[in-house]
Chain A
Amino acid sequence: MRDMKSEVGYWTFFIIAGIVVFVLLFFHMMIIHMDQLLGIFNPAGGSALDWKNVIYRSHSAFFTTIYIILLAAALYHGFYGLRTILFELGLKKRTQSLITIAVWVIGITLFSVGVFANIAVQTVKAAV
């Protein structure tokens, strides 16, 4: 019964993470991909991917926080989904547990890499 409970928890978080990703990617689309039309959060003008705009967002505490939330939500949602697809092969309990551990390890590793970059970029100088 404990397994069942944690499965419901995993699934609920999966749905919440999906909604978080949906909302944040809506803003991602507006800021990064509709830059020529809207030009929001791009103080240097031009492309949203120009260095000055990129470093402006990277140095902002607000964007850093949002990036980390998006990173966590997208990794969780993606790896839970992958796990569900793999579980459908009718795997043994032991194999299922191994997959669960593997996706946690890979997910947390990728999360750490992303968080590290978000912090490391704070010391990168803005001027070219």
Chain B
Amino acid sequence: MSNNEKMYDNRLGIIGWLGGGRWGIERYLYIIHRLAGVGVLIFFILHIFEGNLRIFGPEIWNPVMKVMEHPVFKVGELFIIIGFAFHALNGIRLILIELGWAVGKAEEPVYPYKSSLNTQRPLMVIMLLLAILLIAAGGFDLMFLGH
């Protein structure tokens, strides 16, 4: 960054992290995106160690997999499915928007100004519906088909 860059205080602190104010629903999705991301990251770190247990052979692996069938872990896994499905599809939406897809064509800023948010919104709805579909499929698989 350049030398004359100014550092601004985050006067809002935690509220700046968690509050969406009067901004649109996308601002709240942004907060959920981060919460889901941190949640999945914590799970992933534990998952590395869990998966690594296979180096100790079936004597350790099999009992551990048995423990994972406990309802507490099932509920935990459900949260992972919800967090992951949302984060994945919302992330794809963010990448598409970043690439200028589904935001509409740039036009002359003539009053009354139009927000590109209305152009973007159908993509958000599609992605959320897809996430719900994945959560339903994943939840069904988790509860009725094993894991």
Whether B112 is near chain A, meaning CB under 8 Å from some CB there, is no
Which single residue of chain B is at the shortest CB-CB distance from A71?
B48
A36 touches B9 (CB 8 A): no
Tell whether, in the assembled complex, residue B141 and residue A51 are in contact, meaning their CB atoms are under 8 Å apart.
Answer: no
The answer to whether A78 and B44 have CB atoms under 8 Å apart is: yes
With both beta carbons as reference points, the residue of chain B lying nearest to A84 in the complex is identified as B34
Assess the B138–A33 pair: CB atoms within 8 A.
Answer: yes
Bound complex: CA A37 to CA B9 (Å):
53
Of all chain A residues, which has the CB nearest B89? A22
Closest B residue to A1 by CB, please name it: B2
Q: Does B10 touch A at the CB level, under 8 Å?
A: yes
Q: How many residues of A contact B (CB 8 A)?
A: 44
Chain A 84-120 interface mask (CB, 8 Å, partner B; 1/0): 0100111011000000000000000010011001001
Which one, B2, B9, B54, contacts A121 given CB within 8 A? B54
Within 8 Å by CB of B55, from A1, A71, A117, lies A117
B10 near A90 with CB under 8 A, answer yes
Most chain B CB atoms below 10 A, which of A3, A29, A92, A120? A29
Q: Are A125 and B57 in contact (CB-based, < 8 A)? A: yes
Q: How far is the CA of A51 from the CA of B66 in the complex (A)?
A: 12
Interchain CB contact under 8 A, B17 and A88: yes
Asked if B21 is at the interface (CB within 8 A of a chain A CB), the reply is: no
- Flag if A82 contacts B54 (CB, 8 Å): no
The segment from B91-99, B100-108, B119-127 found at the interface with A is B91-99
| Contact pattern, B 44-55, Cβ under 8 Å of A = 1, otherwise 0 | 110011011011
For window 47-97 of chain A, which residues contact chain B by CB distance below 8 Å?
Answer: 47, 49, 51, 54-55, 58, 71, 74-75, 78-79, 81-82, 85, 88-90, 92-93
CB-CB under 8 A for A113 and B13, given A33-B147, A78-B40, A92-B7 = no
CB contact list, A21-37 vs B, under 8 A: 22, 25, 29, 32-37
Contacts beyond the supplied A1-B1, A117-B51, A124-B56: 13 A-B pairs with Cβ under 8 Å: A7-B1, A22-B92, A47-B146, A51-B62, A54-B61, A55-B54, A81-B41, A88-B16, A89-B13, A93-B7, A113-B49, A121-B54, A124-B55
A19 at interface by CB-CB < 8 Å: yes
**Interface code B64-99, partner A: CB below 8 Å = 1, 0 otherwise?**
010000000000000000001000100110010010
Q: Does A114 lie within 8 Å of B58, measured CB to CB?
A: no
Please measure, in the bound complex, the distance between the C-alpha atom of A121 and the C-alpha atom of B58, giving whole angstroms. Answer: 11
Chain B's closest residue to A117 (CB) is B52
Distance from B2 Cβ to chain A, minimum over Cβ atoms (Å)? 7
Complex: how many Å from CA A88 to CA B84? 23
